[in-house]
Amino acid sequence: MSNTWRIGTRKSDLALWQANQVADAFEKLGVLNRLIKIESTGDQNLTQPLYEMGIQGVFTKELDIALLNNQIDLAVHSLKDVPTQLATGIVLAGVLPRGNVYDILAYTQQTPTDAPATIASGSIRRRAQWLHKYPKHRFENLRGNVQTRLQKLEASAWDGAIFAQVGLERLDLLPEKYEVLDWMIPAAAQGAVGICVRESDTELIRIIQKFNCSQTWKAIQMERQFLRTLEGGCSAPIGALATPTSEGWNFKGGLFSPDGSEALVVDTWVEANQWETKPQLLAQEILNTGGQQIMSALSN
């Protein structure tokens, strides 16, 4: 039995906030732990758009390596950054209760409308959905941690930039001027904190299961199953959101062409006993109605 579990995390303030939430959950169980900070590929390259980097798991790869090399015992992630196909020997052991799922537009003067405007984001999913709604707008790449991106927006001539609301909330950085984009389908597992461990660490998995949030677990499994069936990663314009109801789930998922010209969306209700199977069928429906052509074009 380990005396102290080593928690691997990225170095950003948001990543450390998330890792400390996991550390607190361990401490409430009387389990000792310590944080180990690791820099990811996505943190090292802050100029290239994520969708152009051509790497699955740009924010998770180095933590995976540290896990497999026994340098850490668990890795804490923004689960939306974690590929649906985990590295061999690594499993998702649990999730914390989910935070806010939506994206927001932080704007400088007034909310951009159909008039030509410049919006910033490093996400192809956000870009595609925004351009589908506002085809006259143009996009600028925006990378860096939350604070850096807010500073870049403030210093720019852009009309606005898109952020995950949960990250700004967790760091108490919500700007005065913002609009919740509840029409934009979030990334699969957005707002969820995931904990990955070595598959062989059964004792650690058992401990994590004591504070795993079962409702969040089902939701993110549905969204990641939808994403996995479409064979998309963080570089694909795919969104998915499972919202619990008293008798099942409201599920919305979409695949978009990068320029926003095409949008294939499902918006349906899923019975409680279908949460493990229905998302795959919905994704297959999208593939069969034009989605395969979009995914093929993305891979070329």
Does some domain include residue 221?
no
Amino acid residing at 65: I
**Helix, strand, or coil here: 246?**
coil
CATH number of the CATH domain containing 273: 3.30.160.40
Domain range for 284 is: 227-299
pLDDT of 45 higher than 80: no
| pLDDT at 46 exceeding the cut of 60 | no
Does residue 164 lie in a domain region?
yes
Instruction: Report the pLDDT value the prediction gives residue 57, as an integer from 0 to 100.
Output: 61
Q: Are residues 273 and 164 in the same domain?
A: no
Does residue 219 lie within any of the structural domains? no
**Which pLDDT band holds residue 50 (cuts at 50, 70, 90)?**
very low
**CA–CA separation, 199 and 205 (whole Å):** 8
Closest alpha carbon to 86 in 60, 55, 124? 60
Cβ proximity of 25 and 159 under 8 Å: no
* Same-domain status, 71 and 23: yes
Count up the domains in the chain and report the number.
3
Question: Any bridge partners for residue 264, and if so which?
Answer: 255
Q: Write down the pLDDT at residue 116.
A: 85
Question: Which carries the bigger pLDDT value, residue 152 or residue 236?
Answer: 152
Side chain identity at residue 118, one-letter code: T
Q: Is residue 43 very low, low, confident or very high in pLDDT (cuts 50, 70, 90)?
A: very low
Residue 252 contacts by C-beta under 8 Å, 6 or more apart in sequence?
Answer: 185, 239, 240, 241, 243, 265, 266, 267, 268
CB-based contact 210:95 (threshold 8 Å)? no
Q: Which CATH number does the domain housing residue 138 bear? A: 3.40.190.10
198 and 93, same domain (yes or no): yes
Mean pLDDT confidence for 217-226: 98
Highest mean pLDDT among 47-61, 232-246, 252-266: 252-266
Considering the domain architecture, whether residues 69 and 201 belong to the same structural domain is answered as yes
Residue 139 lies in a domain: yes
Residue 120 belongs to some domain of the structure: yes
48 and 79 share a domain? yes
Establish whether 103 is a catalytic residue.
no
Other CB atoms within 10 Å distance of the CB of residue 14: 19
Catalytic residue among 64, 81, 103, 159: 81
**Residue 246 located in a structural domain:** yes
Alpha-carbon distance 203 to 73, whole Å?
Answer: 11
Average pLDDT value over all residues in the chain: 91
pLDDT score of 51: 44
* pLDDT score, position 55: 41
What's the pLDDT tens digit per position in 66-124? Answer: 999 999 999 999 999 999 999 999 999 999 999 999 999 999 887 776 678 999 999 99
The closest alpha carbon to 186, from 241, 132, 131, 227, belongs to 241
For 132, residues 6+ apart whose C-beta sits below 8 A from its C-beta are 256, 260, 261, 262, 263
> Based on the domain organization, do 146 and 87 belong to the same domain?
no
